[in-house]
Structure 1
Amino acid sequence: MYGETLAVRNAGISLARGEVVAITGQSGSGKSSLLYCLAGVLPVARGEVCFGGRALSDLDDEALSTLRREQFGFVFQYGELLPELTIEENTALPLRLAGQRKAEAHMAAAGILSRLGLEKLRERRPSQVSGGQCQRVAVARALVHKPAIVFADEPTGSLDSGNAAAVLKEFLSLARSQGTAVVLVTHDSQVAAQADSRYTMCDGELTEQARKAS
């Protein structure tokens, strides 16, 4: 809710392990607000957001922060990598924040970077690689700790069509292979078509549009 305006209403959505859900809609329709409510970043004024059978509203700030750090991953439109860290350090960050030893965290980071074809860029900084490569690093960082869910807000929106298709394919393939669910906000119908189920937001209301046959 923003002032007296409900940004999201009548929005019911559920995710299974490894499922990819796309949310589409025009700018200002409430897509990103819904995403951040689901991730526990924005509080909900009405209704509940539950994870593992427990309402996020029942968690105190410390428990909610721990949940987001350990069970959730995030990919943003422009990557949001830390410029002062190397590619490997950026990727290892979720593991380091969770208390994992540096050597173990960097080994895991190197492994996932290799899977994404980025092993030769490990010691570079974000300013030294391309936009498409930065976005692959953002995907690696979101998935390195094998979270239950990744929340992705226009993850290919800043890329050209060729890079966008490649990054999306790698992202969803890796997420599905490790059983990580994905909530994907996008304005691109071709991106949404890669999801297992698709929803449309309009004036804050969510409608299911399509679900792939199992």
Structure 2
Amino acid sequence: MDAILRAEGVDLFYGTQKAVDSADFSLKRGEVTAIMGSSGSGKSSLLYCLAGVLAPTNGTVCFDGTRFSALTDDDLSTLRRERFGFVFQYGELLPELTVEENAALPLRLAGQRKAPAHAAAGEVLGRLGMTELLQRRTSQLSGGQSQRVAVARALVHRPDVVFADEPTGALDSVNASAVLDEFLGLARDQGTAVVIVTHDAAVAEHADSRYAMTDGILK
């Protein structure tokens, strides 16, 4: 199966500091891939290059046959909004919105009307065990509940790829295992590919393929 996301020779500098060193990476459609490494290894920097958030200093990143460097800023923003999803370590939910509103946000930003967007969000949240909490504010949620909302938001628009940066890093081991199983199960059901950055070998074990990163070098 052809790769939907590919990076070749990616370097990333912050000033004179080289965070990513000649990285080659490939992700197939529907595949779950883990990038393992300790804090400061460059794995999150690489993730943001793969997601089109950071432009590499050298090298190329291609999604579905198109180089990011060939896209305008507006086109790249549209790509991230419509075909990518993101899960961060601390959820990054909007506190002024309800659980349902947070999860529906990608659909609303894409112009979908409120009723169908909220219906889609409710369906995904239901699969994550959050049906009873749709109207709750995020400040009233536990860590595991918050991360389930973040997962729903990342998957509600059925993206091609979800980028997850230490998605269970802020959770205890029981919640981490449950949320990861639910996240990856739902992603696989949808055919969504996932790139997980993690320092945890137990998280990486859930992936179909794995990379290791040390001092900016990906192997």
TM range (shorter): over 0.9
Task: Report the equivalent of 1:196.
Answer: 208
Residue 50 of structure 2 is aligned to residue 38 of structure 1:
yes
What is the CA distance between 1:148 and its match in structure 2?
0.3
What is the CA distance between 1:129 and its match in structure 2?
1.4
State how 1:119-198 maps to structure 2 within 5 Å: 119-198=131-210
Residue 194 of structure 1 aligns to which amino acid in structure 2?
Answer: H
**Structure 1 segments of 4+ aligned residues over 2 angstroms from their partners:** none
Aligned to 1:152, what secondary structure does the other structure show?
Answer: strand
**CA shift digits 1:121-178 (9 cap, x unpaired):** 0000111111100000000000000000000000000000000000000000000110
Task: Report the equivalent of 1:210.
Answer: none
How many aligned residue pairs are there? 207
What is the CA distance between 1:5 and its match in structure 2?
2.1
Residue 113 of structure 2 is aligned to residue 113 of structure 1:
no
Cα RMSD for the two superposed structures: 0.6
Q: Which has the higher contact order (CA 8 A, sep 6+)?
A: 1
Unaligned stretches of 5+ in structure 2? 1-12
Query: Percent identical across equivalent pairs?
Result: 71
Aligned to 1:48, what secondary structure does the other structure show?
Answer: strand
Residue 66 of structure 1 aligns to which amino acid in structure 2?
Answer: T
**Counterpart pick for 1:24 among 18, 36, 40:** 36
What is the CA distance between 1:94 and its match in structure 2?
0.3
CA distance in 2, matches of 1:49, 1:180: 19
Task: Report the equivalent of 2:10.
Answer: none
What is the CA distance between 1:2 and its match in structure 2?
0.5
Given that 2:22 and 2:59 are in contact with CA atoms closer than 8 Å, whether structure 1 keeps it comes out as: no
Given that 2:36 and 2:213 are in contact with CA atoms closer than 8 Å, whether structure 1 keeps it comes out as: yes
Aligned to 2:60, what secondary structure does the other structure show?
Answer: coil
Could you state the TM-score of these two structures normalised by the residue count of structure 1?
Answer: 0.96
The more displaced of 4-13 and 194-203 is: 4-13
More strand by percentage: 2
CA distance in 2, matches of 1:145, 1:9: 33
CA distance in 2, matches of 1:47, 1:152: 22
CA distance in 2, matches of 1:183, 1:46: 21
Task: Report the equivalent of 1:52.
Answer: 64
What is the CA distance between 1:6 and its match in structure 2?
1.9
What is the CA distance between 1:10 and its match in structure 2?
2.1
What is the CA distance between 1:16 and its match in structure 2?
1.0
CA distance in 2, matches of 1:57, 1:10: 17
Unaligned stretches of 5+ in structure 1? 208-214
